[in-house]
A and B are shown apart, each in its own frame.
Chain A
């Protein structure tokens, strides 16, 4: 329980950092901390393979992509000017109500956790072997569809950021403003 409280405090602090830091880089690094703590939480839940994948794919690849784009676009901090005055308190109230609703419902219906032997027998520590058996068994169709999705994602991302050939041929650089030139050089 003590370990869980430490993990929960770090997770919540990281999450609050994501939505309060003004600089995008700080918010992204706060999310990295949250994701790494979440990987540790997966280990306490007998999901060792997912913890490794979470660290490598999420905290590694996806967040590097985020930081790369933030630095490439050179996004500054947000201005504090409010356009909808009542939005911020209303959003916090809605979030608080939703979280409290789910949490109270979970605690109103407590379930006995299965014995340690039963968890070990069913999950086997959540190793790659068990996840693989499930992925290539029950989840075979979903696994294939994810492959198609990744292919479509790659093609989509490349075609979105591709420059038109006539843009490349002409002297586009003079007409571009400063951040645009930054992008071209990168």
Chain B
């Protein structure tokens, strides 16, 4: 079996790819896609650690996988609200360029 370190390293690289996407993308939808990538990278690390902690018993090991389940539900709610916000913004300005949305700062 592949050791946990490899999965954690893979998860870290995926998370970094997502973070770079958030920093460099211009369209809000593409920023959103990158955030999904980061969420999934964190999920991969949790599942990998769930297997690593098997020696501590069922309750401890399964808590990693349950956390992933809850994060999945959270991601579904987040996407529903986020895309609703995007549609509302698009109605007003016919663009989802995040550089043009700078007045949200104030």
Contact = CB atoms under 8 A, between A and B. Distances in A.
Contacts of B23: 87, 91, 94-95
B12 A123 contact: no
A24 B94 contact: no
Chain A interface, DSSP helix/strand/loop, else mixed: helix
Contact of B50 (A47, A121, A160): A47
Interface in A120-138: 121-124, 126, 130-131, 133-135, 137-138
A110 B24 contact: no
Chain B interface, DSSP helix/strand/loop, else mixed: helix
Nearest to A15: B17
A72 B84 CA distance: 12
Interface residues of B, number: 78
Nearest to A163: B91
Interface residues of A, number: 91
A112 to B, nearest CB: 8
Nearest to A145: B70
A94 B88 CA distance: 32
Interface string B75-102: 1111111011111101100101001000
Contact of B75 (A4, A15, A58, A94): A58
A91 B26 CA distance: 13
Contact of B66 (A94, A119, A138): A138
Contacts of A116: 1
B17 A53 contact: no
Residue of A61, A65, A75 most packed against chain B (CB within 10 A): A75
Interface of B: 1-10, 12-21, 23-27, 29-30, 32-34, 36-37, 40, 43-44, 47-48, 50-63, 65-70, 72-81, 83-88, 90-91, 94, 96, 99
24 contacts: A4-B6, A12-B10, A18-B17, A24-B30, A27-B30, A31-B36, A34-B37, A54-B72, A66-B29, A69-B87, A75-B29, A91-B24, A102-B9, A103-B12, A106-B8, A122-B55, A122-B58, A122-B60, A130-B62, A131-B62, A138-B63, A139-B67, A153-B80, A180-B94
Please name the 8 residue pairs, one residue from A and one from B, whose CB atoms are nearest each other, closest first: A153-B77, A102-B12, A19-B21, A99-B16, A160-B84, A91-B23, A103-B9, A122-B54
